[in-house]
Structure 1
Amino acid sequence: MKKLIKPALILLLALSANAQAAGTLSLYNWFEYMPKSLLDKFSEEYDVAVTTDTFDSNEAMLASLKAGKLGSYDLAVPGDYMVKIMANEGMLDTFKPEELSNFSNISKQWLDVSFDPGRKSSIPYQWGSTSFSVNRDIYKGSIDSLSVIFNPPEELKGKINVLDTAGETLTLASVYLGIPQCSTDREQLKSLSNLVNTAKKDWASFGSDVAKDVLVSGDVTAGMIWSGFSAKARAEGANVEYAFPKEGFIVWMDNLVLLKDAPNRENALKFMNFLLEPENAAELSNFAKYSPGVDNTEPFLLAEVKDSPEANPPKGSKGVFVETCSQEVQEMYNAIWTRLKK
């Protein structure tokens, strides 16, 4: 009897484990970037329990996955340049368009992107920009230049927060200096390092997850910030204004990627397809205050999102994407960042 029962018991436990795995999904996302209502809607519709862990920068996410977390999550939400880095590192799985019935809903401008041509590993999540905002109750001066951050006027010194992310902070510094991203010119790299290290004495803090809160609270008067965070600060009653500086600002697209060795691949594809439904993509934008990369969302978008000053750069303004540097060049930028953060 024991010889007959034991294999049956093992089979029963295995089937039970598979059934449990079929009802779960693990997401690795930025903080404050997904409404619980949307997760609850997906869970109810597909009978899938979703767990979420958060990160505060692309670089932190990459480091965590490389340190052993790859295989623990099904999906992650990297920025555009990080998608390419992850693909080069062999960290992404691929899918075919026919595996997502809503694939055709992806907006044409976000379909054949350089960081994932034809969308083989990712779908659009949200897009927006990175610049800086100021508290207009305190600072009345001009905000037409990145000098507000990198060579601030006297009244802003010691009252500035900077995003704790190398990719965006060093890119904005490069834009301010007018030097190319991924430069290998030693004089240009020296100028970049000198700029940020000199400006550091005028900064109050490095903080990404607190970028909105410190402006709302008045702990800082100016700060690098993502466009949606600035819009949220206004919604919370802060008299802040978002800048589109003359030197330029960063434009980005965050993406939902299918990770290599995802433990729940089928549920991951269901969730990707779910977020490509216009109503769901709009609900995400209404929460995050950014713009969707999905067609036919306008009827579902709140007016405050569609008409947000942060989401509507003035004509002639210059937005740039963060470029993906070679490993050799990236190590030089990492050295600049490491020195800055000491």
Structure 2
Amino acid sequence: MMVRVFVLVVLLFCKPALAMETLRVLAWPGYASPETIRSFEAAHNAIVELSVVSTDDELWNKGRHNNGGDFDVIALNSVELRRFIDKGLVTPLQLRNIPNVRRQLPRFRNLASIPGLAREGHIYGVPFTYSAMGLIYNRKLVTETPTSMNAMWDPRYRGKVLAYNSSSHSFSFTALALGLPDPFNLNTSQFRQVLDKLISLRSNVLKFYSQPEEVVDIFRDNEIALIYGNYGEQQLKLLRAAGADIGYVMPSEGALAWLDCWAIMSQASNRGLAEAWINHMLTPGVSGQLTEEQGFANTLRETPNKTMRDSDKMFWLAPVEDVQKRASYWERLMSGAAPRPRY
């Protein structure tokens, strides 16, 4: 009899744990800190399974796998969001279930006016953070502040440049360096010019990095003059915390800039929990932590000492002329081949 009572008590105490829902999150480094996850799990009696990506290509491949059934909620930029909408991988949001959108800065409240977030009257993404991709320079090796992204091709910095491992962004920022008017839509001739210039960049690049923390380690162990700052303010914060004497500039030809959002996958196993996650990420504590710990701007308040000035020329990310073509040539370039296009 005593054994039966003990088993009953154990089952009663285990029942809440067995009833816990799991939320599968796909995001970028630093977006969901351990503290943020713990507070959400405690508030919603849930378990969060976080997967982190380092490139848009990786995010696309993971996000679309199993027809999008591997994740419930995803962080992605407004351009990638369009691809996910096109393939039916994300679902329209019920903003009434995400009341913290009312806390956001005025520029982020009219979601339908932000390119890429709406389709046929439905909202698919809620802004979370944004940044420009400027040029980071080592004050000890670069004596004059660079004004152009073309500094990355300067022969003085051979083997002393870090660039980002991304097919789409690399073609676009190189197009800007060439002075092309639209970095997202390259015709045949322009594509050839950009590809040739990217091939010539390889001799200057010590490594094509993926993670922001990776840059700190490389910078510490090597003479690095210039870094393409794909993660913007996050990289600045990490490098300066490591004692690096660096500067940061927006190139004269303009800089790419991104807006990252939260979206819910069409096959989310618990839509309510996914909505609760987005709402949680828009609380002052969590969004403030993103800025304080990672250096990213958030959508609830203005970032002090922001590096993006109103006078800077920005090119907000937009769909490119041929995603697969860029990815294909980039893969061959990264493999060490000379991927000359055939025309």
Q: TM-score, normalised by structure 1?
A: 0.84
Identify which of 326, 331, 343 aligns with 1:338: 331
Matched, 1:182 2:184: yes
The aligned counterpart of 2:170 is 169
Equivalent residue runs for 1:9-20 within 5 Å: 20=18
Task: Output the CA distance in 2 between the equivalents of 1:81 and 1:306.
Answer: 27
- TM-superposed CA distance for 1:52, in Å, is 0.6
1:21 and 1:175, CA in 2 relative to 1: closer, same or farther beyond 3 A? farther
Task: Output the CA distance in 2 between the equivalents of 1:76 and 1:51.
Answer: 12
Equivalent residue runs for 1:185-196 within 5 Å: 185-196=187-198
Matched, 1:317 2:339: no
Decide whether the 8 Å contact of 1:26 with 1:74 is kept in 2.
yes
Matched, 1:139 2:142: yes
Task: Output the CA distance in 2 between the equivalents of 1:318 and 1:27.
Answer: 33
Q: Read off the aligned partner of 2:195 and give its amino acid letter.
A: S
Task: Output the CA distance in 2 between the equivalents of 1:115 and 1:20.
Answer: 39
Matched, 1:157 2:164: no
Secondary structure of residue in 1 paired with 2:135: strand
Matched, 1:231 2:237: yes
Decide whether the 8 Å contact of 2:81 with 2:116 is kept in 1.
yes
Decide whether the 8 Å contact of 2:216 with 2:242 is kept in 1.
no
The aligned counterpart of 2:4 is none
Q: Cα RMSD over matched residues?
A: 2.3
Task: Output the CA distance in 2 between the equivalents of 1:21 and 1:69.
Answer: 26
Equivalent residue runs for 1:26-45 within 5 Å: 26-45=24-43
Task: Output the CA distance in 1 between the equivalents of 2:292 and 2:92.
Answer: 29
Q: Read off the aligned partner of 2:270 and give its amino acid letter.
A: N
Decide whether the 8 Å contact of 1:171 with 1:181 is kept in 2.
yes
Moved more, 259-268 or 100-109: 100-109
1:260 and 1:253, CA in 2 relative to 1: closer, same or farther beyond 3 A? same
- TM-superposed CA distance for 1:70, in Å, is 1.9
The C-alpha deviation readout for 1:184-205, integer Å capped at 9, x for no partner, is: 4221111011100011121111
1:129 and 1:192, CA in 2 relative to 1: closer, same or farther beyond 3 A? same
- TM-superposed CA distance for 1:35, in Å, is 1.9
1:119 and 1:21, CA in 2 relative to 1: closer, same or farther beyond 3 A? farther
Task: Output the CA distance in 2 between the equivalents of 1:123 and 1:212.
Answer: 30
The aligned counterpart of 1:125 is 128
Moved more, 123-132 or 67-76: 67-76
Secondary structure of residue in 2 paired with 1:323: coil
- TM-superposed CA distance for 1:321, in Å, is 1.4
Q: Read off the aligned partner of 1:82 and give its amino acid letter.
A: E
- TM-superposed CA distance for 1:24, in Å, is 2.0
How many residue pairs align between the two structures?
312
Decide whether the 8 Å contact of 2:23 with 2:273 is kept in 1.
yes
The answer for unaligned runs of 5 or more in structure 2 is 1-10, 336-343
Q: TM-score, normalised by structure 2?
A: 0.84
1:239 and 1:44, CA in 2 relative to 1: closer, same or farther beyond 3 A? same
The answer for unaligned runs of 5 or more in structure 1 is 1-11, 299-304
Task: Output the CA distance in 2 between the equivalents of 1:325 and 1:21.
Answer: 44
The aligned counterpart of 1:255 is 261
- TM-superposed CA distance for 1:69, in Å, is 7.0
